[in-house]
Amino acid sequence: MIDFAASFFYMLPDLNAFTVFTGSNILQYNPSMKHKLIRNATRHFAEMELAPIAAEIDQQRIFPREILAKMKPLNYFGLQVPQRYGGANLDSISAAIVVEELSRICAAVGLCITVHNGVAVYPLLKFADSRQKETYLPLLASGHAIGAFSLTEANAGSDAGSVETTAVKNEESYILNGTKIFVTNGGVCDVALIFALTSLPDKKLQSSVFIVESKYPGFLRGEVEDLCGMRANPVSSLFFEDCAVPESNLLGKLGDGMKIGMATLDNGRLGVAAQALGIAQGAMEAAVKYAKERQQFKKPIASQQTIQNYIADMATEISAARLLLYRACELKDSGAAFGCEASMAKLYCSSVASRVTSLSVQIHGGYGYSKEYDVERYFRDARVTEIYEGTSEIQRMVIARTILSQPVL
C-alpha cells in the first residue's frame, strides 16, 4: 500500500468539502507557462525567506538587508532591465506577478522592489541618454544601488505642479535646495530621481528631474517615518542643502519634469496595484485557512453561509482585480497609452485590498485584531495602497478625464 499520509504537512479529514490548496489552480491565473514559473519561483522564495521574518521586521521596523542581498543575484532589482545591463528582461505581467507574490507574504519588501523597478529604474530606461544608462542601469539592475523616486513635498503631493525644491544652474552643475517627504526607500537609497523647479531659457519656471547620488555633498536623510503599515520599508525625508548635481545628470530635457513624472506614475501604479493584489491574496488565503480550522457551534465557521459569502466576494473581487491589472500590463507592453488602465487597476486593486483585508480581520474575529496573526499586518499594509502613487481620488480624476476627453459617438 502506498503511504500517502507520509507526505502530508497537515490534514483536515473532516473538511474535505472545503479543501483549498496553496498550489491550487483556483484563484491562480497565469497567462503563460513562463508566467507560472515566475510566480512559482517568487512564491517559493517569499515563503522560504520572507515568511519567517515578515512579522518581526514589521514590528521592529527592520530593513532586511540580508534577504535583499539574496534577491540581488536573482534579478529582483532588474526585473525589466535588458540583459545587457544585467537585468532579467521580463514583460510587465511578469513584473506584476513578482511584486504580487512578494506582497502576498511581505508587502514592505514588495514595496522596496516595486519602487526600485517601477519608478526609479523605469524612467531611466525610458528617458535616460546612453551615458546615463551605461552608468546607472548596471548598478541598479544588480541591486548594488537601491533607487528612489522623489516628487512629494510638504505642499506638493497630488498637485505635482507645486514643487518648491529648486535647481539653479551654476557652471556645469545644478545646485539643489529643498525638502522631499515620504520617500519610499529614502533611508537606504543610493540613487534618487529628484523633481525640482528649474528656470527655462524663456525665464519660465518648470520642473525637471535629476539623477542624484546619495554620496553627493548636501544630500541628507531625515529620520525613518513611524508609519501605520509597510513598516519594514525605510520611508524618510530627503534634504538638499546646496547639493551640486552634474549637469549631465539631468534626466530628459530641461522642463520635462511633468512629462517624466506622469509617465513614471502611470508605471508605478501598475506596481502598487500588483502590491495591493498580493496583499489581498495573502489575506484571503489566511481567512480561508482560519475559517476551516476555527470551530464554533461545534463546526468550522466556514460552514456558515455568512462566512461563505465573504469568501465568495473576496475571491471574485481578487480575480477581477487581477484581470484588470494584467490587461493594463499587456497594454503597456504593446506600446499603447496605458495611463487610464493603470489608474483603473490601481484604484480597483487597492480598494479590493482594503475590503478583503478588512473582511479577513472580521473572519478572524478577535484574533484578527491581534499581532499574533498576519491579517492584522495585511490590514495595516493595505490602507496606504489607496493613498500613495496617486490617491483613489486622483485615479478617478485621471480615469474620468480620459473618458470625457474622448469623442462621443
Site residues (vs other proteins, CB under 8 A): 1-13, 19, 21-25, 28, 33-34, 36-38, 40-41, 44-45, 48, 70, 73-76, 79, 83, 87-90, 94, 98
Catalytic residue flag (residue 101): no
Distance between CA atoms of residues 53 and 374, nearest Å: 11
Q: How far is the CB of 73 from other proteins (least distance, A)?
A: 6
By beta-carbon proximity to other proteins, the closer residue of 28 and 206 is 28
Cell of 165: 525644491
Give Cβ neighbours of residue 68 (< 8 Å, ≥ 6 apart). 76, 109, 112, 143
By beta-carbon proximity to other proteins, the closer residue of 76 and 290 is 76
Q: How far is the CB of 118 from other proteins (least distance, A)?
A: 15
Coil/strand/helix, residue 147: strand
Cell of 79: 526585473
By beta-carbon proximity to other proteins, the closer residue of 103 and 395 is 103
Distance between CA atoms of residues 354 and 106, nearest Å: 16
Distance between CA atoms of residues 255 and 258, nearest Å: 8
By beta-carbon proximity to other proteins, the closer residue of 144 and 371 is 144
Residue 237, φ and ψ in degrees, nearest 5: -85, 160
Give Cβ neighbours of residue 269 (< 8 Å, ≥ 6 apart). 342, 343, 345, 346, 389, 390, 395
Residue 295, φ and ψ in degrees, nearest 5: -100, 125
Q: How far is the CB of 6 from other proteins (least distance, A)?
A: 5
By beta-carbon proximity to other proteins, the closer residue of 48 and 400 is 48
Active-site residue identified among 100, 153, 317, 389: 389
Give strand pairing partners of 122.
none
Cell of 397: 480624476
AA identity, residue 367:
Y
- How many angstroms from the chain centroid is the CA of residue 149? 13
Residue 94's Cβ-count burial label (10 Å; 0-12, 13-18, 19+) is buried
By beta-carbon proximity to other proteins, the closer residue of 12 and 400 is 12
Catalytic site residues?
389
